[in-house]
Amino acid sequence: MVTVVVADDQPLMRSALATILAAGGIEVVGQAGSGDEAVAVVRRTRPDVVLMDVRMPGRDGLSATAELARSGTARVVVLTTFDHDEYLYGALRAGAAGFLLKNSTPEELVRAVQRVAAGESVLDPAVTARVLARYTAPAVTAVSGDALQRLTEREQDVLGLLARGLSNVEIATDLGVGEATAKTHVSHVLTKLGVRDRVQAVIYAYEVGFAPDGRRVRPTTNEA
């Protein structure tokens, strides 16, 4: 069973989130009302995932997320009411594995926690377009595209599907392969690009001008 710590300064919100997660077969092993408390509870309970609010008294959620990401204690999904770019990019810079708005449906929340626990990364659909728009701007070309040349054609296809926000299951369906094979392809892509997770892979793809439909930005001689 996936285990979760819920960090939010509103007791009612913590209770509601715990109820939603429990209904989805996810065990809440701890709750916290501040960033400092969240770090302490996570270190004590060792959950798979942390649902982290941004605005909390004392230490905020982004600072707590950064510490947990550095230590590798648990994977963090930042969950906030505020649809602000500063929170979104702050969460990604802090090392969050996911970013969701609190107006997500219970099904979306449960699915996101399950995906993050399985090693994937999740962005709320409402903010994905802004991330892509930011990194498709023509001026954003400072990152070297050399690593892209290390990908086989099949791996470039996978990167294109990642850039469209597809999960491992969806990638497997699109490519006509098993989920384990798709997961292996994704792992190879992350390793060859030298990135930590799927979110960073998407950001890299757009920084070097790799189109979301999988068009290659320059010729490659690699075999699939």
The count of residues in the chain is: 224
CATH of the domain at 43: 3.40.50.2300
Instruction: Mean pLDDT check: name the lowest of 25-34, 78-87, 129-138, 192-201.
Output: 129-138
Tell whether 116 and 144 lie within a shared domain: no
Residue 147 has a pLDDT of 78
Q: Is residue 215 part of a domain?
A: no
Residue 20 has a pLDDT of 96
**What is this structure's pTM?**
0.62
Tell whether 116 and 8 lie within a shared domain: yes
Of the ranges 79-83, 96-100, 129-133, the best mean pLDDT one: 96-100
Tell whether 62 and 156 lie within a shared domain: no
pLDDT band of 137, cuts 50, 70, 90? very low
Burial of 83 (0-12, 13-18, 19+ CB in 10 A): middle
Higher-confidence residue: 167 or 109?
109
**Overall domain count for the chain:** 2
In the predicted model, is pLDDT for residue 111 greater than 80? yes
Rounded to an integer, what distance in angstroms lies between the CA atom of residue 31 and that of residue 18? Answer: 9
The tokens for 187 are 């792992």
The mean of the pLDDT values for the chain is 82
Helix axes 179-193, 153-163, angle to 10 degrees: 90
In the predicted model, is pLDDT for residue 133 greater than 80? no
Residue 83 has a pLDDT of 66
CATH of the domain at 141: 1.10.10.10
Which range of residues forms the domain containing residue 201? 136-207
Q: By percentage, how much of the chain surpasses pLDDT 70?
A: 81
